[in-house]
Amino acid sequence: MRNLVWHIFLCVALAASAWASNKVDAEQVAKEHKASFHWFPVQKTFLLAGETDTLKFAIGLPYVSSHGNSVELKRAPEITDGHILLDSADVVSLYKTDKTAAVSPTSSSSAAKVSSSSAKAAAVPAATPTAKPKNETAGTREVKTIVIDPGHGGKDTGAQGKNSNEKDIVLAVGKLLKKELEKEGFNVKMTRDKDVFIELGERANLANQWDGDLFISLHCNAIDATPERKKQIKGYHVYVLRAPESEEDKAIARRENKVATLYGEKNAKEELSPIEWFKLEARLEKYKQNSYMFTEEMLKAFDGGKIKRQGGGVGGAGFMVLVGALMPAVLFEIGFISNPEEEAYMTTTKAQEDIATRVAKAVSTYKAAVHNYRETLGR
Ligand SMILES: [Zn+2]
């Protein structure tokens, strides 16, 4: 069995190295084509801004926006060892098209060439305007159904502060958030709307049954430390499901996952193994871009709020509650319940309303961003 796993692993590794020869560094491409390179780390998008066109790419999405059209790529851009890589065949065809347009921009024959190569994707829906795009999944379709997941509940109190429990704060914020989002016209579902215990896996199952467009799991952070240290560590953090980059992020995921092992949930584990991450990666890729888009909106919405970012405000780890959700998903640590100041703040109705309003604002701007993105893709 072990041999078989290794065999599969080696095959995958070999296949990966075979592709590597066809990949080119996007920054190098920019230099060679006298374009300027712009990278947006939270959204994981980048631009190659040339004289005649600005090409817009997204990590993990096999499309590029060129001359206002969406063009399908042979392979989605990716990040490897800190380099952004494009398929060399894609670069050749993109810059061939661009050069043709640049040499004789008014020539009708070259214009026809440009549109025949790039308008394929756009032309199909244009020719059949009544046909609805098929196979649209969460993340690519318009944002309508929001699933709010107030963490913990019932016998699982979550982290405990001096005077409050995590489960109560996140439920209060969740209920207010539902109200706010319904005012904006969203269809809103809650994995729990009272003090009950629900397994982590069941939360994702519910979200999938409801066919949600966005999954927001609400939590309060905590550290186990000296009173002095508890006073120092504070702030909010937005987490997406991705391999953790720091021990701190790993520890937070372990704490949030603990409930599953504690209460004997099936398939429960506190950490994902490397092979599990590997298996999950392809499926996650589908929603990653949108999870980051929403994260970006969350950072903007919480700018100027009472609770500040903890560090960069964004992290990744293996949160079990996010693993099963087949949609863009984030886990939001509102603030530290172990910090006396933040605990006191988060337990007030005024604070809970402010937090709910800010999350709702992020959802609305995210919805608009998805809508705009769909337009650039000609959907
Ligand atoms: Zn929690």
Q: Using the mean position of ligand 1's atoms as its centre, give its distance from the Cα of residue 203 in Å.
A: 13
Q: What is the pLDDT along the chain (379 residues), one digit of tens a residue?
A: 555 555 555 444 444 444 556 899 998 999 988 898 877 665 577 888 888 888 877 787 777 777 656 677 888 888 888 788 999 998 988 888 654 443 333 333 333 333 333 333 333 333 333 344 446 778 889 999 999 999 999 999 999 999 999 999 999 999 999 999 999 999 999 999 999 999 998 999 999 999 999 999 999 999 999 999 999 999 999 999 888 888 888 888 888 888 777 777 777 778 888 777 777 776 777 898 999 999 999 999 999 999 999 999 999 988 888 888 999 999 999 999 999 999 999 999 999 999 999 999 999 999 999 999 888 877 7
Residue 221's pLDDT is: 96
Tokens found for residue 121: 């994707």
Residue 354 to residue 167: CA distance in whole angstroms: 18
Residue 145, beta-bridge partner list: 187
Partners of 56 in the β-ladder: 47, 65
Task: Return all residues near 159 (Cβ < 8 A) that are at least 6 apart.
Answer: 165, 166, 220, 221, 222, 255, 337, 338
Contact (CB, 8 A) for 277 and 318:
yes
C-alpha distances in Å from residue 104, one per residue of 33, 50, 54, 99: 18, 16, 18, 9
* pLDDT at 274 (0 to 100): 75
- 159 CA distance to ligand 1 centroid (A)? 6
Tell me what pLDDT residue 290 has: 94
pLDDT of residue 127: 33
Residue 115 CA, ligand 1 centroid: distance in Å = 51
DSSP 268: -
Report the separation in Å between the CA atom of 167 and the middle of ligand 1, taken as the mean of its atom positions: 8
Distance 252 CA to ligand 1 centre (A): 9
pLDDT for the residue 285: 79
CA-CA distance, 238 to 316, in Å (whole number)? 8
Phi, psi of 299 (to 5 degrees): -60, -40
Ligand 1 centre distance from Cα of residue 171 (Å): 11
Q: What is the amino acid identity at position 102?
A: A
* 43 CA → ligand 1 middle, Å: 25
